[in-house]
């Protein structure tokens, strides 16, 4: 007996069929993929980070340059949640699809490295990563794990082991350009794919939100799985407004095991 309504099960089956027919599937993931892992998203009403804080005041490049302590004070709870987070069933299901050759690339807006922790290999990180920190003075790069535990636990702001200046997480702040190599690669795979699957993204943050349109303009199919509507739901072959941590594993199960 299905755990889902008949309409949802029909949508799952249709999405699985599109995956099986695809020869070059690409996934675009947003913060909604990681909320089941305990990491808050940014824009949900009442619970999103930007419903409590003004992003340009706490998470901008200007704030980091002029008042890094203010940035780190805001960042500490989020860093702790990310540091201790574990992949959820959706992350593992996507990694399984990639391993089976059913998924070519994962473009992610997330900085939490949970795709990689789940075993995914070809991940394009559009907004940077929590894996490393870079010195703002000498540009020495370090493994974040060596510093984030003490920062999350005791609030110790990380400093460069070479020049003692403050280290910056390699995440993209407001006012900072996207990593050029990642952006070019994301555009390339979006234009080459025959199936784009948007998961856990409201598609409100440009320029990444425009990638599904690039895929659609070249004839790709589109699947959207998110708990709220997006501007492209009307263009999607199938849109499922339910919990990604249950829907993605169900689709992967159908794709891999029939």
Q: Pick from 255, 209, 200, 256: which is nearest to 231 by CA?
A: 209
Q: What are the φ and ψ backbone dihedral angles of 33, each rounded to 5 degrees?
A: -70, -30
Is residue 130 within 8 A of residue 111, CB to CB? The reply is yes
Extract the tokens encoding 141. Answer: 């790069």
**In sequence order, what are the beta bridge partners of 124?**
107
Pairwise CA distance, residues 167 & 157, whole Å: 8
pLDDT digit string, tens, across residues 114-143: 999 999 999 999 999 989 999 989 999 999
Q: Residue 97: enclosing H or E segment and its boundaries?
A: helix 89-99
Between residues 10 and 49, which one has the greater pLDDT? 10
Buried b (16+ CB within 10 A) or exposed e, 229-239: ebebbeebbbb
Pairwise CA distance, residues 227 & 239, whole Å: 10
Pairwise CA distance, residues 10 & 251, whole Å: 11
**In sequence order, what are the beta bridge partners of 29?**
108, 199
What's the pLDDT band for 55 if we cut at 50, 70, 90?
Answer: low
What's the pLDDT band for 51 if we cut at 50, 70, 90?
Answer: very low
User: Which residues are within 8 A (CB) of 177 and not within 5 positions of it... i.e. 6 or more apart?
Assistant: none
* DSSP-assigned letters across all residues of 140-183: -EEETHHHHHHHHHH----B-TTT-PBEEEEEPPBT-PPPHHHH
Between residues 66 and 77, which one has the greater pLDDT? 66
Q: Pick from 14, 12, 13, 50: which is nearest to 31 by CA?
A: 50
The class (CATH top level) of 1-39+87-127+178-258 is alpha beta
pLDDT digit string, tens, across residues 200-250: 999 998 899 999 999 999 999 999 999 999 999 999 999 999 999 999 999
The pLDDT, as a whole number, for residue 48 is 43
Identify the sign of the CA torsion 174, 176, 179, 183: positive
115 tagged catalytic: no
Q: Which of 127, 140, 159, 221 is catalytic?
A: 127
Pairwise CA distance, residues 242 & 227, whole Å: 5
Buried b (16+ CB within 10 A) or exposed e, 24-37: ebbbbbbbbbbbbb
Extract the tokens encoding 18. Answer: 């599109």
10-19, 58-67, 241-250: least confident range:
58-67
State the Cα angle at 93 between 213 and 230, rounded to 5°: 30
User: Mean pLDDT, to the nearest integer, of 97-112?
Assistant: 97
Domain borders along the chain are: 1-39+87-127+178-258, 43-84+131-171
Query: Which of the 8 DSSP states describes residue 126?
Result: T
Pairwise CA distance, residues 49 & 111, whole Å: 15
Q: Where does 43-84+131-171 sit in CATH, by number?
A: 3.30.1600.10
* DSSP-assigned letters across all residues of 109-124: ---S-HHHHHT---EE
């Amino acid at each position: 007996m299905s755990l889902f309504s008949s309409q949802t099960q029909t949508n799952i089956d249709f999405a699985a069929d599109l995956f099986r027919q695809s020869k070059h599937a690409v996934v675009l993931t947003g913060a909604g993929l990681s909320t089941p892992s305990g990491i808050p998203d940014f824009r949900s009403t009442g619970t999103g980070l930007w419903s409590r804080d003004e992003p340009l005041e706490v998470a901008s490049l200007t704030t980091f340059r002029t008042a890094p302590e203010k940035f780190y004070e805001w960042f500490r709870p989020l860093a702790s949640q990310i540091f201790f987070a574990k992949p959820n069933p959706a992350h593992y299901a996507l990694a399984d699809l990639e391993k089976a050759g059913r998924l070519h690339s994962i473009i992610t807006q997330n900085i939490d490295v949970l795709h990689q922790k789940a075993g995914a290999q070809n991940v394009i990180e559009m907004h940077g990563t929590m894996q490393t920190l870079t010195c703002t003075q000498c540009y020495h790069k370090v493994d974040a794990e060596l510093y984030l535990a003490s920062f999350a636990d005791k609030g110790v702001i990380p400093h460069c082991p070479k020049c003692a200046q403050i280290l910056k997480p390699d995440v993209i702040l407001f006012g900072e350009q996207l990593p050029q190599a990642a952006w070019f690669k994301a555009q390339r795979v979006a234009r080459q794919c025959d199936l784009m699957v948007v998961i856990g993204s409201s598609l409100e943050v440009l320029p990444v939100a425009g990638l599904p349109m690039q895929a659609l303009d070249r004839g790709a199919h589109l699947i959207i799985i998110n708990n709220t509507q997006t501007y492209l739901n009307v263009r999607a072959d199938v849109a499922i407004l339910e919990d990604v941590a249950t829907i993605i594993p169900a689709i992967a199960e159908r794709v891999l095991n029939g």
